[in-house]
Structure formats: structure tokens, C-alpha cells
Chain A
Amino acid sequence: DAGVTQSPTHLIKTRGQHVTLRCSPISGHKSVSWYQQVLGQGPQFIFQYYEKEERGRGNFPDRFSARQFPNYSSELNVNALLLGDSALYLCASSLRQEAFFGQGTRLTVV
């Protein structure tokens, strides 16, 4: 059974550009969450979606948005990229509190 898959694995963008990151959850998992992990720190919560509804949002600016599709896959969008947005973006799908992470998308903003 496939785990959480994220695409792309690596991405380089220029300041001011927009980026879309994608996530496919484990089959049967209806909850998808997004986290940002800066080098040397623990992951920080960005969004959680459950059954296509936003369940919660972390302390991130409005430049960050997300959505969940009928097949429970999800997209994270970031507008007007800043150098400080460079990080590993992680997607997790969960069932009864057990959260499983994908390999992440390494975003570099130059």
C-alpha cells in the first residue's frame, strides 16, 4: 500500500513567484495536514483539511492557502514567495490521530 506521496520533491523559485505543492494521502485517510520545516527545527503546522473542509490554520500569512479535493488529495499554494519561505514542506495524512508524513518538498527561494 502506497504511503503519502508529495510532488515535486525539489523546487527552486525566485522571490515574488508563486508555487503549488501537491500531496496524495494514504488510501482511506480523509485528513490531510501541511507543515513547514525550517532546517534545524521541528515541523510547524500550516493547515489541516478534513473531508474537504479547512479544519484549522497555523500562524502563517494569507500568502499561504490550501485546498482538498474530492479524492482527498491536497494542494498547498504560496504566493509572493520570500527568501524565508525556503524550507521542507511536509504533508501528513492521518487516521484516528496517527499521522504519516510524506518525504516532503524541498523549496528553495532565490
Chain B
Amino acid sequence: QQQVKQSPQSLIVQKGGISIINCAYENTAFDYFPWYQQFPGKGPALLIAIRPDVSEKKEGRFTISFNKSAKQFSLHIMDSQPGDSATYFCAASMDDYKLSFGAGTTVTVRA
């Protein structure tokens, strides 16, 4: 049973455009929601994370929006660059325990 559902599976965006990835969760006990970026052959790298007491968090070109009542959160990548082409995973955890990952979104940024 997948605890975190992620969409879309893949997306293509033009350079300078906005990439939006959505995730939904069921377990209301989750208290930490990170996003990871993974390049082929590499381990996931922590990109940005949010806790449920905050509705939005921005770090550079990356923004997380969090909707606690809808049990949804999303990643926005502004001014997308070719170097952003990677697979992005949302995840959720509680009490510093295991991360439950989404299935991943492959983002391709066309120059």
C-alpha cells in the first residue's frame, strides 16, 4: 500500500517555465514532508522540506505548497533550467522514522 501518491509520472517543460509536481498522503500522523532530487546513478539529494504547521516554504527557485486539510503538497520549480532535469521524489515521515516515498516524477527541461 503506497502511503504517498505522486503525479505526474513525467513532465516536459521549456527552459524558464514552471514545473509543478503534486503529492497526496493518507496518514495524518506524518509530520515531515521532504522533496528529493535524483540524477541517474546517484543517491537522492535533499532539496527542500516542510512541516505541517507551515503552508508554504521557498528556497531559491524551489517552493513547497502544503494543504493540510486536503492532505496534499506540491513542489514548484520556477525558471526551470536544463540542469534541473532529474527525477523528483516527494516523501513523508513521522517521529524521525522511515521515509515513505512517492513513485517519482521525471522532469525534462528543454533548452
How far in angstroms is the closest Cβ of chain B from A106? 8
Across the interface, do B43 and A90 meet the contact criterion of CB distance under 8 Å?
yes
Find residues 85-110 in chain A having any chain B CB closer than 8 Å to their own CB: 88, 90, 92, 94, 96-104, 106
Question: Is A74 part of the contact surface with B, judged by Cβ < 8 Å?
Answer: no
Across the interface, do B43 and A104 meet the contact criterion of CB distance under 8 Å?
yes
For the complex, give the distance between the alpha carbons of A42 and B100 in Å.
Answer: 9
- Known contacts A42-B89, A42-B104: A99-B99 contact under CB 8 Å: yes
Question: Is B22 part of the contact surface with A, judged by Cβ < 8 Å?
Answer: no
* Chain B hits for A73, CB < 8 A: none
Across the interface, do B46 and A43 meet the contact criterion of CB distance under 8 Å?
no
- Known contacts A41-B103, A42-B104, A43-B101: A97-B45 contact under CB 8 Å: no
For the complex, give the distance between the alpha carbons of A97 and B52 in Å.
Answer: 14
B interface, how many residues as a size bin?
20 to 34
Which single residue of chain B is at the shortest CB-CB distance from A6?
A: B43
For the complex, give the distance between the alpha carbons of A108 and B41 in Å.
Answer: 14
For the complex, give the distance between the alpha carbons of A46 and B85 in Å.
Answer: 28
- Interface majority SS (helix, strand, loop, mixed), chain A: strand
Find residues 41-70 in chain B having any chain A CB closer than 8 Å to their own CB: 41-46, 49
Across the interface, do A31 and B96 meet the contact criterion of CB distance under 8 Å?
yes
Q: Given B6, B32, B44, B49, which contacts A101 in the complex, CB threshold below 8 Å?
A: B44
For the complex, give the distance between the alpha carbons of A106 and B43 in Å.
Answer: 11
Which single residue of chain B is at the shortest CB-CB distance from A94?
A: B96
Q: Given A41, A43, A44, A58, which contacts B44 in the complex, CB threshold below 8 Å?
A: A43
Known: A43-B89, A44-B101. 10 other contacts (CB 8 A): A41-B103, A41-B104, A42-B101, A43-B44, A45-B98, A45-B100, A58-B98, A90-B44, A97-B49, A101-B46
